[in-house]
Chain A
Amino acid sequence: MCIITISRGSYSSGKEVAEKVAACLHYDCVSRDILLEASDRYEVDEIKLVKAIHDAPSILERRGRKKETYIAYIRSALVSRVRSDNVVYHGLAGHLLLRGIPHVVKVRIIADIDRRSAMEAQREGITLEKARSAIIADDEQRRKWTQSLYGVDPWDSSLYDLVVKVDRLSIADAVDIVCDAAKREAFKTTPASQQKMEDLVTACAVKAALIEEFPEVMVLSEYGNVIIHSASGGRHAQKIRKAVGALETTIGGINSIEVHADGNAPPGSV
Protein backbone atom coordinates (compact mmCIF):
# COMPACT_ATOMS: atom_id res chain seq x y z
CA MET A 1 0.00 0.00 0.00
CA CYS A 2 1.51 3.30 -1.07
CA ILE A 3 1.07 6.34 -3.26
CA ILE A 4 2.88 6.64 -6.59
CA THR A 5 3.47 9.99 -8.24
CA ILE A 6 4.52 9.93 -11.86
CA SER A 7 6.09 13.08 -13.20
CA ARG A 8 6.39 13.34 -16.95
CA GLY A 9 6.89 15.73 -19.80
CA SER A 10 4.44 15.90 -22.66
CA TYR A 11 4.56 12.87 -24.98
CA SER A 12 6.87 10.96 -22.64
CA SER A 13 4.46 8.00 -22.33
CA GLY A 14 4.13 8.78 -18.62
CA LYS A 15 0.33 8.66 -18.82
CA GLU A 16 0.36 5.16 -20.33
CA VAL A 17 2.84 4.00 -17.71
CA ALA A 18 0.72 5.48 -14.91
CA GLU A 19 -2.48 3.85 -16.17
CA LYS A 20 -0.82 0.47 -16.57
CA VAL A 21 0.84 0.67 -13.15
CA ALA A 22 -2.53 1.49 -11.61
CA ALA A 23 -4.16 -1.44 -13.43
CA CYS A 24 -1.35 -3.80 -12.44
CA LEU A 25 -1.46 -2.87 -8.74
CA HIS A 26 -5.27 -2.38 -8.66
CA TYR A 27 -4.76 1.24 -7.61
CA ASP A 28 -6.82 4.28 -8.57
CA CYS A 29 -5.31 6.44 -11.28
CA VAL A 30 -5.86 10.17 -10.81
CA SER A 31 -4.66 13.19 -12.72
CA ARG A 32 -6.59 16.23 -13.85
CA ASP A 33 -9.66 15.09 -11.88
CA ILE A 34 -7.90 16.66 -8.88
CA LEU A 35 -8.45 20.02 -10.56
CA LEU A 36 -12.18 19.32 -10.81
CA GLU A 37 -12.29 18.46 -7.12
CA ALA A 38 -10.39 21.64 -6.23
CA SER A 39 -12.62 23.66 -8.53
CA ASP A 40 -15.76 22.31 -6.83
CA ARG A 41 -14.43 22.58 -3.30
CA TYR A 42 -13.06 26.14 -3.55
CA GLU A 43 -15.42 27.46 -6.23
CA VAL A 44 -12.72 28.49 -8.65
CA ASP A 45 -12.85 28.17 -12.44
CA GLU A 46 -11.08 24.99 -13.52
CA ILE A 47 -9.35 26.91 -16.29
CA LYS A 48 -7.69 29.19 -13.72
CA LEU A 49 -6.43 26.13 -11.85
CA VAL A 50 -5.12 24.59 -15.07
CA LYS A 51 -3.23 27.80 -15.84
CA ALA A 52 -1.90 27.98 -12.29
CA ILE A 53 -0.42 24.52 -12.40
CA HIS A 54 0.84 24.68 -15.95
CA ASP A 55 2.17 28.16 -16.71
CA ALA A 56 5.06 29.74 -14.85
CA PRO A 57 3.95 32.84 -12.91
CA SER A 58 4.58 36.16 -14.64
CA ILE A 59 6.18 39.05 -12.71
CA LEU A 60 2.74 40.53 -11.95
CA GLU A 61 1.37 37.17 -10.84
CA ARG A 62 4.32 36.71 -8.50
CA ARG A 63 3.41 39.97 -6.80
CA GLY A 64 -0.29 39.14 -6.66
CA ARG A 65 0.26 35.60 -5.34
CA LYS A 66 -2.96 34.43 -7.02
CA LYS A 67 -1.15 31.44 -8.48
CA GLU A 68 0.02 30.35 -5.03
CA THR A 69 -3.58 30.52 -3.85
CA TYR A 70 -4.76 28.22 -6.62
CA ILE A 71 -1.88 25.82 -5.98
CA ALA A 72 -2.82 25.68 -2.29
CA TYR A 73 -6.34 24.68 -3.39
CA ILE A 74 -5.00 22.02 -5.75
CA ARG A 75 -2.63 20.68 -3.11
CA SER A 76 -5.40 20.46 -0.55
CA ALA A 77 -7.64 18.57 -3.00
CA LEU A 78 -4.77 16.26 -3.96
CA VAL A 79 -3.70 15.30 -0.44
CA SER A 80 -7.34 14.67 0.55
CA ARG A 81 -7.76 12.45 -2.49
CA VAL A 82 -4.63 10.34 -1.95
CA ARG A 83 -4.71 10.14 1.87
CA SER A 84 -6.13 6.61 1.86
CA ASP A 85 -3.32 5.23 -0.37
CA ASN A 86 -3.42 2.90 -3.36
CA VAL A 87 -3.32 5.77 -5.80
CA VAL A 88 -1.21 6.57 -8.84
CA TYR A 89 -1.10 10.33 -9.48
CA HIS A 90 0.29 11.44 -12.81
CA GLY A 91 -0.59 15.08 -12.81
CA LEU A 92 1.82 17.94 -12.50
CA ALA A 93 4.17 18.36 -9.55
CA GLY A 94 2.89 15.41 -7.50
CA HIS A 95 6.37 14.76 -6.13
CA LEU A 96 6.52 18.35 -4.86
CA LEU A 97 2.97 18.64 -3.58
CA LEU A 98 3.37 15.41 -1.57
CA ARG A 99 6.83 16.21 -0.25
CA GLY A 100 7.73 14.76 3.12
CA ILE A 101 5.43 11.73 2.97
CA PRO A 102 7.57 8.58 3.29
CA HIS A 103 5.19 6.17 1.54
CA VAL A 104 5.17 8.10 -1.73
CA VAL A 105 7.15 6.55 -4.60
CA LYS A 106 8.34 9.46 -6.71
CA VAL A 107 8.86 8.42 -10.31
CA ARG A 108 9.80 10.40 -13.39
CA ILE A 109 9.24 8.98 -16.86
CA ILE A 110 11.35 10.53 -19.59
CA ALA A 111 11.71 9.90 -23.30
CA ASP A 112 14.02 10.90 -26.06
CA ILE A 113 13.22 14.31 -27.61
CA ASP A 114 13.10 12.79 -31.12
CA ARG A 115 10.56 10.18 -30.04
CA ARG A 116 8.46 12.84 -28.29
CA SER A 117 8.62 15.16 -31.32
CA ALA A 118 7.55 12.34 -33.65
CA MET A 119 4.55 11.58 -31.43
CA GLU A 120 3.51 15.23 -31.22
CA ALA A 121 4.00 15.75 -34.97
CA GLN A 122 1.83 12.72 -35.72
CA ARG A 123 -0.91 13.66 -33.28
CA GLU A 124 -1.04 17.37 -34.16
CA GLY A 125 -0.32 16.99 -37.87
CA ILE A 126 2.63 19.40 -37.76
CA THR A 127 6.22 19.20 -38.94
CA LEU A 128 8.89 17.57 -36.78
CA GLU A 129 10.68 20.90 -36.31
CA LYS A 130 7.51 22.59 -35.06
CA ALA A 131 6.77 19.66 -32.77
CA ARG A 132 10.29 19.76 -31.38
CA SER A 133 10.06 23.51 -30.71
CA ALA A 134 6.68 23.06 -29.00
CA ILE A 135 8.05 20.33 -26.74
CA ILE A 136 11.15 22.32 -25.83
CA ALA A 137 8.95 25.35 -25.03
CA ASP A 138 6.65 23.18 -22.90
CA ASP A 139 9.60 21.69 -21.00
CA GLU A 140 10.98 25.18 -20.41
CA GLN A 141 7.62 26.34 -19.07
CA ARG A 142 7.62 23.39 -16.63
CA ARG A 143 11.14 24.18 -15.58
CA LYS A 144 10.28 27.84 -14.92
CA TRP A 145 7.10 26.88 -13.05
CA THR A 146 8.91 24.51 -10.71
CA GLN A 147 11.83 26.85 -10.19
CA SER A 148 9.69 29.88 -9.45
CA LEU A 149 7.42 28.08 -6.98
CA TYR A 150 9.69 25.46 -5.41
CA GLY A 151 13.22 26.58 -6.32
CA VAL A 152 14.12 23.24 -7.87
CA ASP A 153 14.69 21.93 -11.37
CA PRO A 154 12.22 19.20 -12.43
CA TRP A 155 15.06 17.56 -14.41
CA ASP A 156 17.07 17.05 -11.23
CA SER A 157 17.04 13.27 -10.73
CA SER A 158 17.57 13.58 -6.99
CA LEU A 159 13.96 14.75 -6.62
CA TYR A 160 12.77 11.27 -7.55
CA ASP A 161 13.24 7.74 -6.29
CA LEU A 162 13.33 6.43 -9.82
CA VAL A 163 13.79 7.91 -13.28
CA VAL A 164 13.00 5.61 -16.20
CA LYS A 165 13.69 6.44 -19.82
CA VAL A 166 11.14 4.95 -22.17
CA ASP A 167 13.18 4.28 -25.26
CA ARG A 168 15.07 1.01 -25.13
CA LEU A 169 13.06 0.17 -22.03
CA SER A 170 9.51 -0.30 -23.28
CA ILE A 171 6.36 0.98 -21.57
CA ALA A 172 5.77 -2.55 -20.23
CA ASP A 173 9.34 -2.68 -18.83
CA ALA A 174 8.84 0.72 -17.16
CA VAL A 175 5.57 -0.55 -15.65
CA ASP A 176 7.38 -3.60 -14.26
CA ILE A 177 10.14 -1.46 -12.75
CA VAL A 178 7.69 0.97 -11.10
CA CYS A 179 5.42 -1.81 -9.77
CA ASP A 180 8.44 -3.59 -8.37
CA ALA A 181 9.63 -0.42 -6.60
CA ALA A 182 6.16 0.18 -5.16
CA LYS A 183 6.28 -3.22 -3.46
CA ARG A 184 9.47 -2.37 -1.60
CA GLU A 185 9.38 -2.28 2.18
CA ALA A 186 10.63 1.33 2.25
CA PHE A 187 7.44 2.59 0.60
CA LYS A 188 4.93 0.66 2.68
CA THR A 189 2.55 2.80 4.70
CA THR A 190 3.30 2.70 8.41
CA PRO A 191 1.26 4.23 11.24
CA ALA A 192 3.88 7.00 11.48
CA SER A 193 3.85 7.77 7.75
CA GLN A 194 0.03 7.72 7.71
CA GLN A 195 0.06 10.21 10.59
CA LYS A 196 2.31 12.46 8.51
CA MET A 197 -0.20 12.17 5.68
CA GLU A 198 -3.11 13.08 7.98
CA ASP A 199 -1.14 16.07 9.26
CA LEU A 200 -0.40 17.16 5.71
CA VAL A 201 -4.12 16.92 4.85
CA THR A 202 -4.97 19.09 7.86
CA ALA A 203 -2.20 21.64 7.21
CA CYS A 204 -3.13 21.95 3.53
CA ALA A 205 -6.83 22.40 4.35
CA VAL A 206 -6.02 25.16 6.88
CA LYS A 207 -3.64 26.85 4.45
CA ALA A 208 -6.24 26.71 1.64
CA ALA A 209 -8.83 28.23 3.96
CA LEU A 210 -6.55 31.12 4.93
CA ILE A 211 -4.45 31.85 1.89
CA GLU A 212 -6.73 34.26 0.11
CA GLU A 213 -6.91 36.61 3.08
CA PHE A 214 -3.47 35.86 4.54
CA PRO A 215 -1.21 34.82 1.66
CA GLU A 216 2.00 34.79 3.72
CA VAL A 217 0.94 32.23 6.34
CA MET A 218 2.78 28.94 6.73
CA VAL A 219 1.00 26.04 8.38
CA LEU A 220 2.31 23.00 10.20
CA SER A 221 0.28 20.23 11.77
CA GLU A 222 1.66 17.68 14.21
CA TYR A 223 -0.78 15.07 15.45
CA GLY A 224 -3.59 17.52 14.74
CA ASN A 225 -1.98 20.39 16.66
CA VAL A 226 -1.88 23.14 14.08
CA ILE A 227 0.66 25.96 14.25
CA ILE A 228 0.22 28.91 11.93
CA HIS A 229 3.25 31.11 11.36
CA SER A 230 2.75 34.64 10.11
CA ALA A 231 5.54 36.97 9.12
CA SER A 232 3.35 40.08 9.25
CA GLY A 233 3.56 40.95 12.94
CA GLY A 234 1.33 40.89 16.01
CA ARG A 235 -1.70 42.82 14.71
CA HIS A 236 -1.91 40.56 11.73
CA ALA A 237 -1.63 37.51 13.97
CA GLN A 238 -4.61 38.77 15.92
CA LYS A 239 -6.67 38.89 12.71
CA ILE A 240 -5.58 35.35 11.87
CA ARG A 241 -6.59 34.12 15.33
CA LYS A 242 -10.08 35.51 14.74
CA ALA A 243 -10.29 33.91 11.29
CA VAL A 244 -9.19 30.45 12.42
CA GLY A 245 -11.78 30.18 15.14
CA ALA A 246 -14.30 28.64 12.79
CA LEU A 247 -11.81 26.24 11.18
CA GLU A 248 -11.69 23.85 14.12
CA THR A 249 -15.27 22.87 13.39
CA THR A 250 -15.15 22.90 9.58
CA ILE A 251 -11.85 21.05 9.08
CA GLY A 252 -11.56 17.60 10.59
CA GLY A 253 -8.56 16.30 12.53
CA ILE A 254 -7.68 19.53 14.37
CA ASN A 255 -6.91 19.29 18.11
CA SER A 256 -5.71 22.83 18.65
CA ILE A 257 -4.63 25.87 16.67
CA GLU A 258 -1.84 28.25 17.65
CA VAL A 259 -0.84 31.37 15.77
CA HIS A 260 2.78 32.57 15.96
CA ALA A 261 3.79 35.98 14.66
CA ASP A 262 7.53 35.16 14.42
CA GLY A 263 7.50 34.16 10.76
CA ASN A 264 10.03 31.40 11.42
CA ALA A 265 8.10 28.52 9.94
CA PRO A 266 9.82 25.18 10.65
CA PRO A 267 10.68 22.76 7.83
CA GLY A 268 7.68 20.75 6.70
CA SER A 269 5.31 23.73 6.90
CA VAL A 270 3.05 24.25 3.90
Chain B
Amino acid sequence: MTIIAISSDSYRMGREIGEKISKRLGYRYLDREILKEISAGSGISEGKLLKALEKTPSALGMSARDQAVYLAHIEKKVIGEFLKDNVVCHGLAAHLYVLGVSHVLKVRVLSNPEVLGKELAPGKDLSGDAMEKLIGRNENARKRWSLKAFSLDETDPSNYDMVISLNKIEINEAVKSIAEAVGYKKFKAMSYSLKCLKDEETAAEARTILFPRFPDAQVRANGPTVVVITKGMKREKQKKALIIKEMVGKIPGVNFVEVHIVNDILRQAAESLR
Protein backbone atom coordinates (compact mmCIF):
# COMPACT_ATOMS: atom_id res chain seq x y z
CA MET B 1 0.00 0.00 0.00
CA THR B 2 1.46 3.31 -1.08
CA ILE B 3 0.15 6.84 -0.86
CA ILE B 4 1.16 9.91 -2.81
CA ALA B 5 0.01 13.25 -1.41
CA ILE B 6 0.29 16.08 -3.89
CA SER B 7 0.23 19.75 -3.03
CA SER B 8 0.29 22.44 -5.68
CA ASP B 9 0.00 26.21 -6.00
CA SER B 10 -2.56 25.53 -8.75
CA TYR B 11 -5.52 23.20 -8.16
CA ARG B 12 -5.89 22.53 -11.89
CA MET B 13 -2.23 21.61 -12.30
CA GLY B 14 -2.16 19.43 -9.18
CA ARG B 15 -5.24 17.60 -10.42
CA GLU B 16 -3.76 16.98 -13.86
CA ILE B 17 -0.58 15.60 -12.35
CA GLY B 18 -2.44 13.53 -9.76
CA GLU B 19 -4.67 11.95 -12.40
CA LYS B 20 -1.72 11.15 -14.65
CA ILE B 21 0.22 9.51 -11.82
CA SER B 22 -2.78 7.44 -10.75
CA LYS B 23 -3.28 6.29 -14.34
CA ARG B 24 0.39 5.44 -14.76
CA LEU B 25 0.63 3.48 -11.51
CA GLY B 26 -2.90 2.07 -11.48
CA TYR B 27 -3.60 3.79 -8.13
CA ARG B 28 -6.93 5.23 -7.05
CA TYR B 29 -7.21 9.00 -7.43
CA LEU B 30 -8.71 11.05 -4.63
CA ASP B 31 -9.59 14.72 -4.80
CA ARG B 32 -12.36 17.14 -3.85
CA GLU B 33 -14.95 14.95 -5.51
CA ILE B 34 -14.95 13.05 -2.23
CA LEU B 35 -16.41 16.08 -0.45
CA LYS B 36 -19.88 14.96 -1.68
CA GLU B 37 -19.50 11.71 0.27
CA ILE B 38 -18.18 13.52 3.33
CA SER B 39 -21.10 15.92 3.12
CA ALA B 40 -23.59 13.07 2.94
CA GLY B 41 -21.98 11.31 5.92
CA SER B 42 -21.54 14.35 8.16
CA GLY B 43 -24.47 16.56 7.23
CA ILE B 44 -22.11 19.46 6.53
CA SER B 45 -22.72 21.09 3.17
CA GLU B 46 -20.18 20.54 0.43
CA GLY B 47 -19.72 24.31 0.10
CA LYS B 48 -18.70 24.63 3.75
CA LEU B 49 -16.22 21.76 3.44
CA LEU B 50 -14.70 23.38 0.37
CA LYS B 51 -14.52 26.73 2.15
CA ALA B 52 -12.69 25.08 5.06
CA LEU B 53 -10.04 23.86 2.59
CA GLU B 54 -9.61 27.25 0.97
CA LYS B 55 -10.40 30.12 3.32
CA THR B 56 -8.79 31.30 6.53
CA PRO B 57 -11.29 31.83 9.35
CA SER B 58 -12.31 35.44 9.87
CA ALA B 59 -14.69 37.50 12.00
CA LEU B 60 -17.16 37.91 9.13
CA GLY B 61 -16.63 34.53 7.48
CA MET B 62 -16.23 31.03 8.82
CA SER B 63 -15.28 30.67 12.50
CA ALA B 64 -12.12 28.83 13.56
CA ARG B 65 -14.28 26.31 15.43
CA ASP B 66 -16.34 25.50 12.34
CA GLN B 67 -13.24 25.18 10.21
CA ALA B 68 -11.67 22.78 12.72
CA VAL B 69 -14.81 20.61 12.70
CA TYR B 70 -15.09 20.55 8.90
CA LEU B 71 -11.40 19.75 8.47
CA ALA B 72 -11.62 16.95 11.05
CA HIS B 73 -14.38 15.32 8.97
CA ILE B 74 -12.30 15.62 5.80
CA GLU B 75 -9.23 14.24 7.58
CA LYS B 76 -11.14 11.26 8.95
CA LYS B 77 -12.58 10.30 5.58
CA VAL B 78 -9.33 10.80 3.65
CA ILE B 79 -7.26 8.75 6.10
CA GLY B 80 -9.93 6.06 5.96
CA GLU B 81 -9.47 5.92 2.19
CA PHE B 82 -5.69 5.80 2.61
CA LEU B 83 -6.07 2.67 4.72
CA LYS B 84 -7.90 0.83 1.95
CA ASP B 85 -5.73 1.05 -1.10
CA ASN B 86 -2.89 2.56 -3.11
CA VAL B 87 -3.95 6.18 -3.47
CA VAL B 88 -2.87 9.41 -5.16
CA CYS B 89 -4.44 12.31 -3.25
CA HIS B 90 -4.62 15.96 -4.22
CA GLY B 91 -6.49 19.03 -3.02
CA LEU B 92 -7.51 17.67 0.38
CA ALA B 93 -4.54 18.98 2.39
CA ALA B 94 -3.42 15.42 3.16
CA HIS B 95 0.24 16.49 3.06
CA LEU B 96 -0.45 18.49 6.23
CA TYR B 97 -2.08 15.82 8.38
CA VAL B 98 -0.15 12.68 7.48
CA LEU B 99 3.24 14.27 7.98
CA GLY B 100 4.40 11.60 10.41
CA VAL B 101 3.37 8.62 8.28
CA SER B 102 6.45 7.28 6.56
CA HIS B 103 4.90 5.54 3.58
CA VAL B 104 3.26 8.72 2.27
CA LEU B 105 5.30 10.37 -0.47
CA LYS B 106 4.69 14.09 -0.12
CA VAL B 107 5.30 16.12 -3.24
CA ARG B 108 4.73 19.79 -4.02
CA VAL B 109 4.40 20.89 -7.62
CA LEU B 110 4.93 24.54 -8.53
CA SER B 111 3.32 25.80 -11.72
CA ASN B 112 4.95 27.94 -14.31
CA PRO B 113 4.35 31.53 -13.03
CA GLU B 114 2.80 32.62 -16.34
CA VAL B 115 0.34 29.74 -16.33
CA LEU B 116 -0.48 30.32 -12.66
CA GLY B 117 -0.95 34.08 -13.21
CA LYS B 118 -3.45 33.41 -16.00
CA GLU B 119 -5.28 30.92 -13.81
CA LEU B 120 -5.49 33.35 -10.89
CA ALA B 121 -6.62 36.28 -13.07
CA PRO B 122 -8.44 34.76 -16.02
CA GLY B 123 -8.96 37.04 -18.97
CA LYS B 124 -6.64 39.74 -17.62
CA ASP B 125 -3.43 40.71 -19.31
CA LEU B 126 -1.20 41.38 -16.31
CA SER B 127 2.28 42.89 -16.47
CA GLY B 128 5.20 40.89 -15.06
CA ASP B 129 5.21 42.88 -11.80
CA ALA B 130 1.45 42.64 -11.31
CA MET B 131 1.56 38.91 -11.95
CA GLU B 132 4.42 38.47 -9.47
CA LYS B 133 2.43 40.37 -6.83
CA LEU B 134 -0.69 38.33 -7.49
CA ILE B 135 1.22 35.06 -7.17
CA GLY B 136 2.88 36.36 -3.99
CA ARG B 137 -0.52 37.27 -2.50
CA ASN B 138 -1.90 33.86 -3.38
CA GLU B 139 1.10 32.15 -1.76
CA ASN B 140 0.77 34.26 1.39
CA ALA B 141 -2.93 33.44 1.63
CA ARG B 142 -2.16 29.69 1.41
CA LYS B 143 0.59 30.10 3.98
CA ARG B 144 -1.82 31.85 6.39
CA TRP B 145 -4.47 29.20 5.79
CA SER B 146 -2.16 26.25 6.47
CA LEU B 147 -0.65 27.87 9.56
CA LYS B 148 -4.09 28.56 10.97
CA ALA B 149 -5.54 25.15 10.10
CA PHE B 150 -2.62 22.81 10.84
CA SER B 151 0.14 25.02 12.33
CA LEU B 152 2.30 24.12 9.32
CA ASP B 153 3.48 26.28 6.44
CA GLU B 154 2.28 24.68 3.23
CA THR B 155 4.88 26.58 1.21
CA ASP B 156 7.82 25.37 3.33
CA PRO B 157 9.78 22.82 1.24
CA SER B 158 10.88 20.94 4.36
CA ASN B 159 7.32 19.61 4.70
CA TYR B 160 7.77 17.62 1.48
CA ASP B 161 10.01 14.85 0.19
CA MET B 162 10.31 16.60 -3.14
CA VAL B 163 9.35 19.92 -4.73
CA ILE B 164 9.21 20.09 -8.53
CA SER B 165 8.97 23.36 -10.40
CA LEU B 166 7.23 23.19 -13.76
CA ASN B 167 9.12 26.20 -15.05
CA LYS B 168 11.22 24.01 -17.29
CA ILE B 169 10.31 20.49 -16.29
CA GLU B 170 7.29 19.31 -18.28
CA ILE B 171 4.21 17.80 -16.67
CA ASN B 172 4.86 14.31 -18.05
CA GLU B 173 8.44 14.43 -16.82
CA ALA B 174 7.28 15.47 -13.35
CA VAL B 175 4.78 12.60 -13.41
CA LYS B 176 7.57 10.19 -14.31
CA SER B 177 9.83 11.48 -11.50
CA ILE B 178 7.07 11.17 -8.90
CA ALA B 179 6.01 7.71 -10.12
CA GLU B 180 9.62 6.55 -9.93
CA ALA B 181 10.22 8.08 -6.49
CA VAL B 182 7.32 6.16 -5.01
CA GLY B 183 9.17 2.96 -5.86
CA TYR B 184 11.93 3.76 -3.34
CA LYS B 185 11.79 1.37 -0.41
CA LYS B 186 11.09 4.01 2.25
CA PHE B 187 7.63 4.56 0.76
CA LYS B 188 6.51 0.98 1.13
CA ALA B 189 3.93 0.53 3.87
CA MET B 190 5.15 -1.30 6.95
CA SER B 191 3.19 -2.46 9.96
CA TYR B 192 4.44 0.51 12.01
CA SER B 193 3.59 3.14 9.39
CA LEU B 194 0.14 1.54 8.93
CA LYS B 195 -0.35 1.71 12.68
CA CYS B 196 0.57 5.42 12.60
CA LEU B 197 -2.02 5.96 9.86
CA LYS B 198 -4.67 4.05 11.82
CA ASP B 199 -3.85 6.16 14.89
CA GLU B 200 -4.29 9.32 12.81
CA GLU B 201 -7.70 8.05 11.70
CA THR B 202 -8.76 7.40 15.30
CA ALA B 203 -7.53 10.85 16.37
CA ALA B 204 -9.37 12.47 13.46
CA GLU B 205 -12.58 10.68 14.43
CA ALA B 206 -12.17 11.86 18.02
CA ARG B 207 -11.74 15.42 16.74
CA THR B 208 -14.97 15.24 14.75
CA ILE B 209 -16.74 14.33 18.00
CA LEU B 210 -14.93 16.74 20.33
CA PHE B 211 -14.40 19.90 18.25
CA PRO B 212 -18.01 21.11 18.19
CA ARG B 213 -17.89 21.31 21.99
CA PHE B 214 -14.15 21.53 22.75
CA PRO B 215 -12.54 23.28 19.75
CA ASP B 216 -9.20 23.75 21.51
CA ALA B 217 -8.77 20.03 22.25
CA GLN B 218 -5.51 18.43 21.18
CA VAL B 219 -5.97 14.77 20.35
CA ARG B 220 -3.47 11.96 19.87
CA ALA B 221 -4.14 8.25 19.50
CA ASN B 222 -1.90 5.30 20.17
CA GLY B 223 -3.60 2.03 19.40
CA PRO B 224 -6.65 1.69 21.64
CA THR B 225 -5.59 4.68 23.77
CA VAL B 226 -6.64 8.24 23.01
CA VAL B 227 -5.03 11.18 24.79
CA VAL B 228 -6.94 14.47 24.91
CA ILE B 229 -5.52 17.73 26.21
CA THR B 230 -7.84 20.69 26.66
CA LYS B 231 -8.22 23.83 28.72
CA GLY B 232 -10.60 24.21 31.62
CA MET B 233 -11.26 25.82 35.00
CA LYS B 234 -10.18 23.99 38.16
CA ARG B 235 -13.73 23.43 39.34
CA GLU B 236 -14.92 21.92 36.08
CA LYS B 237 -11.95 19.60 35.54
CA GLN B 238 -13.62 16.43 36.71
CA LYS B 239 -16.88 17.04 34.88
CA LYS B 240 -15.12 17.93 31.64
CA ALA B 241 -12.86 14.88 31.81
CA LEU B 242 -15.87 12.62 32.28
CA ILE B 243 -17.74 14.12 29.34
CA ILE B 244 -14.70 13.78 27.06
CA LYS B 245 -14.11 10.19 28.17
CA GLU B 246 -17.70 9.35 27.41
CA MET B 247 -17.68 11.03 24.03
CA VAL B 248 -14.42 9.53 22.80
CA GLY B 249 -14.97 6.15 24.44
CA LYS B 250 -17.77 5.47 21.97
CA ILE B 251 -15.33 5.21 19.07
CA PRO B 252 -14.98 1.54 18.07
CA GLY B 253 -11.58 0.16 19.06
CA VAL B 254 -10.91 2.80 21.75
CA ASN B 255 -10.69 1.27 25.20
CA PHE B 256 -8.85 3.93 27.19
CA VAL B 257 -9.20 7.70 27.11
CA GLU B 258 -6.67 9.80 28.96
CA VAL B 259 -7.77 13.40 29.54
CA HIS B 260 -5.53 16.23 30.68
CA ILE B 261 -7.22 19.49 31.60
CA VAL B 262 -4.81 22.41 31.56
CA ASN B 263 -5.74 25.47 33.65
CA ASP B 264 -7.44 28.09 31.52
CA ILE B 265 -5.55 31.05 32.95
CA LEU B 266 -7.32 33.68 30.85
CA ARG B 267 -10.81 32.51 31.82
CA GLN B 268 -9.73 32.23 35.44
CA ALA B 269 -8.37 35.80 35.41
CA ALA B 270 -11.52 37.08 33.73
CA GLU B 271 -13.74 35.40 36.33
CA SER B 272 -11.68 36.69 39.26
CA LEU B 273 -12.12 40.28 37.98
CA ARG B 274 -15.92 39.98 37.97
Identify B170's interface contact among A163, A176, A177, A186, CB under 8 A.
A186
> Is A160 in contact with B168, judged by CB distance below 8 angstroms?
no
Given contacts A163-B162, A164-B162, A168-B102, contact A180 B169 (CB under 8 A): no
Identify A170's interface contact among B165, B168, B173, B186, CB under 8 A.
B186
Q: Mark A172-213, 1 if CB is under 8 A from B, else 0.
A: 010011001100101100000000000000000000000000
> Is A181 in contact with B177, judged by CB distance below 8 angstroms?
yes
Identify B164's interface contact among A162, A170, A176, CB under 8 A.
A162
Interface residues in A136-173 (C-beta closer than 8 Å to B): 155, 157-158, 160-165, 167-170, 173
Interface residues in A104-160 (C-beta closer than 8 Å to B): 108, 110, 112-113, 155, 157-158, 160
Q: Is A215 an interface residue (CB 8 A)?
A: no
Given the complex of chains A and B, what is the CA–CA distance between A164 and B180 in angstroms?
Answer: 14
Q: Which residues of A contact B164 (CB under 8 A)?
A: 161-162
Stretch in B56-64, B153-161, B207-215 with 4+ CB within 8 Å of A: B153-161
Q: Which residues of A contact B156 (CB under 8 A)?
A: 155
> Is A180 in contact with B157, judged by CB distance below 8 angstroms?
no
**Closest chain A residue to B187, Cβ basis:** A168
Identify B158's interface contact among A110, A160, A184, A186, CB under 8 A.
A110
Chain A CB within 10 A, most for which of B110, B170, B176: B110
- Distance in Å: Cβ of B234 to nearest Cβ of chain A: 35
Q: Is A102 an interface residue (CB 8 A)?
A: yes
Q: Mark B155-197, 1 if CB is under 8 A from A, else 0.
A: 1111011111101111001001100110010110000000000
Given contacts A158-B113, A161-B167, A177-B177, contact A169 B184 (CB under 8 A): yes
> Is A165 in contact with B157, judged by CB distance below 8 angstroms?
yes
Given the complex of chains A and B, what is the CA–CA distance between A5 and B157 in angstroms?
Answer: 18
> Is B162 in contact with A162, judged by CB distance below 8 angstroms?
yes
> Is A168 in contact with B186, judged by CB distance below 8 angstroms?
yes
Q: Is B90 an interface residue (CB 8 A)?
A: no
Given the complex of chains A and B, what is the CA–CA distance between A155 and B165 in angstroms?
Answer: 14
Given the complex of chains A and B, what is the CA–CA distance between A181 and B162 in angstroms?
Answer: 13
**Closest chain B residue to A103, Cβ basis:** B168
Q: Which residues of A contact B157 (CB under 8 A)?
A: 108, 110, 155, 157, 163, 165
Interface residues in B53-109 (C-beta closer than 8 Å to A): 102, 108
- Distance in Å: Cβ of B88 to nearest Cβ of chain A: 18
> Is B184 in contact with A157, judged by CB distance below 8 angstroms?
no
Given the complex of chains A and B, what is the CA–CA distance between A254 and B186 in angstroms?
Answer: 53
Q: Mark A78-122, 1 if CB is under 8 A from B, else 0.
A: 000000000000000000000000100000101011000000000
Chain A CB within 10 A, most for which of B108, B113, B173: B173
Identify B184's interface contact among A110, A158, A161, A173, CB under 8 A.
A173
Q: Which residues of A contact B180 (CB under 8 A)?
A: 176-177, 180
Given contacts A155-B156, A155-B157, A184-B173, contact A160 B165 (CB under 8 A): yes
**Closest chain A residue to B186, Cβ basis:** A168
Q: Which residues of A contact B173 (CB under 8 A)?
A: 181, 184, 186
> Is B160 in contact with A165, judged by CB distance below 8 angstroms?
yes
Identify B168's interface contact among A112, A155, A173, A186, CB under 8 A.
A186
Given the complex of chains A and B, what is the CA–CA distance between A167 and B102 in angstroms?
Answer: 10
Given the complex of chains A and B, what is the CA–CA distance between A133 and B147 in angstroms?
Answer: 24
> Is B110 in contact with A177, judged by CB distance below 8 angstroms?
no
> Is B110 in contact with A158, judged by CB distance below 8 angstroms?
yes
Given contacts A173-B184, A184-B169, contact A165 B110 (CB under 8 A): no
Given contacts A165-B160, A180-B177, 17 further A-B contacts (CB under 8 A): A110-B157, A157-B165, A158-B113, A158-B165, A160-B163, A161-B169, A162-B162, A163-B157, A165-B162, A168-B102, A169-B161, A169-B184, A170-B184, A176-B180, A177-B177, A181-B177, A184-B168
The list of the 6 closest CB pairs from A to B, nearest first, reads A163-B163, A168-B186, A186-B168, A157-B163, A163-B157, A157-B157
B residues touching A (Cβ–Cβ < 8 Å)? Answer: 102, 108, 110, 113, 155-158, 160-165, 167-170, 173, 176-177, 180-181, 184, 186-187
**21 pairs from A and B in contact (CB 8 Å cutoff):** A157-B110, A157-B157, A158-B165, A162-B162, A162-B164, A163-B160, A164-B162, A165-B158, A165-B160, A169-B161, A169-B184, A169-B186, A173-B181, A176-B180, A177-B181, A180-B176, A181-B173, A184-B169, A184-B170, A184-B173, A186-B168
